[in-house]
Every structure is written in C-alpha cells, then in structure tokens.
Amino acid sequence: MPKIIAQLDLLRPYIEWKKAFDRDAHNRNNGGVKTIYVGHNLENERLVFLLFKVSSMEALFKFTQPTLIRDRAILYGHNPATARVIPCID
C-alpha cells in the first residue's frame, strides 16, 4: 500500500495548524488517505512531519497534485514552497 512522508514548515503555531489539519480529516479519509502520524520537531514546533497511508496509486497521485498541496497549505497554514512530499511504496 502506498505511503506518503511529508515535512512542512508552518506559518503559524503548531496548535493552530493542527486544529485546521484535524478539521479537514474527512476530506483526507474520503480521498483514501489515512493519517498514521503527525508531530513536530522537539526543538522547533514549526517543523512538522507526517506519515499517511494511501488506499491506491490513484489516491496517491490525487493527494500529491501540486494545486491540491498548495490549497491544503493555505487552508492549514504551512508554506507550500518549502513542503517536501515523498511518495513511497513497499
């Protein structure tokens, strides 16, 4: 099953970003994307790491489209220019 590893630079405090991220969970779930892990660096709360499990390669490609990544960045409050999204498969 495909996975996505992401690293984000936040534009607002982690607690505010996490609330926005959590409010959008239904869109991720409906798109076949399950959140496995979300957390921030111990020394820098504005550096976030995420791990997602994706239901199919199609869902993976939809989830990682640049326009969708930009839209989510605006919604959640992270910098889309510095986001690192790595699709993986086992």
User: What are the sequence ranges of the domains in the chain?
Assistant: 3-88
Tokens 């790491």 belong to residue: 49
**Residues 35-84 pLDDT 10s:** 999 999 999 999 999 999 999 888 878 877 878 878 888 888 998 888 89
pLDDT mean over 25-36: 91
Quick check: 9 and 70 in contact, CB under 8 A? no
CATH 3.40.1080.10 fits 3-88, yes or no: no
